[in-house]
């Protein structure tokens, strides 16, 4: 396939989606998924994750904007775009009367994968379903079905694999197995995108995480930075006397002087609590007359929410 190696795995530019004139599911989203990453798209239910994935899959028409996969524009070059991506949808969908081997053969046929390149046996082995090759799909456990769907998405050996909430309703053991396989694919050169509403899950697997909320992209950072940011909290403190030099103690992450008697102090929730921050300020010789917690921004609120939900 032609396409410059410098191209992103996925590029989304100003994509907006309005369903039936009412809900704005996506609002001018810009997103670049670099090649070779495991990329997390994090957001609460209803944020717009599946809408974005379904647009890339060609299942939902966007209202505005453009998108490309592996350098292929989804509107101008839909065939190559489609061939470059494998998608595991949120809902488990396949015919219960076909066996896993048949399911993969049919999928290969749909994608025009040549007979000699058919990878049915190899894929079944990869998702540990070789023993179930000839069982009816309806007799598979939920976890086995999920793995079969991953195999199905990889039939045409796409360079990009997207998993939409792959662990919804999946137990811990299976989650591990699924992640092992995702890591294997990634090690083999596949760019992986997964959506989830759990920060922990994204944190464990992803190199980079973007956060979407109410159809808007509100963060897009390397995982480490994002997780660090989620630990920071700020208090605004007014003291009795003018401050000559802002105090600096180990309890503070960052101190900013807002006016003669007001400080904004950033601290890390994982290291100290607000009480300890105020005590440290008192010990530095300042009489506190007013304290307010800074209005947490959307990112903080969302990150706190997702952390407790996990």
- CB burial of 199-237 (b: ≥16 within 10 Å; e: otherwise) equals bebbbebbebbbbbbbbbbbbbeebeebbeebeebbbbb
Using the rule CB under 6 A, is 47 a contact of ligand ADP?
Answer: yes
**Closest-CA residue to 235 (of 218, 250, 217, 255):** 255
Q: Which residues contact 74 (CB under 8 A, 6 or more apart)?
A: 55, 56, 58, 66, 67, 68, 81
Distance CA 245, CA 247 (A): 6
CA distance 164 to 140: 20
Helices (H), 111-191: 120-126, 142-153, 172-187
DSSP state of 144: H
| Residue 25 binds to ligand ADP (criterion: CB under 6 A) | yes
Give me the residue label for tokens 């009816």.
136
CB of 157 to Mg ion, least distance (A): 26
Closer Cβ to ligand ADP, 50 or 84, answer by number: 50
> Min. distance of Cβ 26 from ligand ADP in angstroms?
8
The stretch near Mg ion (CB under 5 A) out of 49-57, 58-66, 119-127, 131-139 is 49-57
Q: Which does 245 bind (CB under 5 to 8 A by kind): ligand ADP, Mg ion, none?
A: none
Q: Which is nearer to ligand ADP, 261 or 307 (CB)?
A: 307
- With CB under 6 A as the rule, give the number of residues binding ligand ADP: 12
Task: Tell me if 51 contacts ligand ADP by CB under 6 A.
Answer: yes
Instruction: Give Cα separations from 204 to 178, 183, 224, 256 (angstroms).
Output: 13, 11, 10, 33
52 within 8 A of 12, measured Cβ to Cβ: yes
Span near ligand ADP by CB under 6 A; candidates 8-16, 49-57, 262-270, 285-293: 49-57
Which residue among 11, 33, 50, 57 contacts Mg ion (CB under 5 A)?
50
**Closest CB 173 distance from ligand ADP, rounded Å:** 25
Q: How many CB atoms lie within 10 A of CB 268?
A: 14
Scan residues 81-140 and list those touching Mg ion (CB under 5 A): 90
User: Smallest distance, Å, CB 216 to ligand ADP?
Assistant: 12
* The one segment of 14-22, 46-54, 104-112, 297-305 that binds Mg ion by CB under 5 A: 46-54
Q: List residues binding Mg ion (CB under 5 A).
A: 49-50, 90
Q: List residues binding ligand ADP (CB under 6 A).
A: 19-20, 23, 25, 43, 45-51
């Amino acid at each position: 396939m032609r396409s410059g190696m410098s191209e992103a795995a996925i590029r989304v530019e100003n994509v907006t989606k309005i369903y039936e004139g009412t809900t704005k599911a996506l609002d001018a989203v810009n997103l670049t998924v670099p090649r070779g990453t495991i990329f997390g798209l994090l957001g609460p239910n209803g944020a717009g994750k599946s809408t974005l994935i379904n647009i890339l899959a060609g299942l939902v028409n966007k209202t505005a904007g453009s998108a490309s996969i592996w350098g292929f524009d989804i509107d101008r070059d839909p065939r190559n775009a489609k061939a470059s991506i494998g998608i595991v949808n949120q809902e488990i969908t396949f015919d219960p009367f076909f066996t896993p081997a048949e399911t993969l053969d049919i999928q290969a046929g749909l994608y025009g994968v040549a007979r000699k390149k058919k990878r049915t046996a190899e894929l079944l082995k990869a998702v540990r379903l070789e023993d179930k090759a000839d069982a009816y799909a309806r007799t598979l456990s939920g976890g086995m079905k999920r793995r079969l769907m991953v195999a199905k998405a990889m039939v045409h050996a796409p360079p990009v694999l997207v998993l939409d909430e792959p662990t919804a309703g999946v137990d811990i053991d299976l989650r591990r197995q699924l992640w092992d396989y995702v890591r294997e694919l990634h090690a083999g050169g596949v760019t992986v995108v997964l959506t989830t509403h759990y920060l922990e899950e994204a944190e464990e697997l992803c190199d980079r995480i973007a956060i979407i909320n109410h159809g808007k992209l509100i963060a897009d950072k390397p995982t480490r930075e994002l997780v660090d940011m989620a630990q920071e909290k700020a208090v605004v403190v007014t003291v009795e006397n003018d401050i000559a030099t802002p105090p600096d103690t180990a309890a503070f992450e960052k101190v900013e002087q807002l006016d003669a008697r007001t400080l904004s102090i950033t601290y890390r929730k994982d290291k100290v609590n607000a009480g300890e921050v105020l005590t440290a300020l008192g010990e530095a010789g300042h009489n506190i007359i007013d304290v307010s917690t800074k209005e947490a921004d959307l990112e903080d609120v969302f990150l706190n929410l997702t952390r407790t939900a996990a």
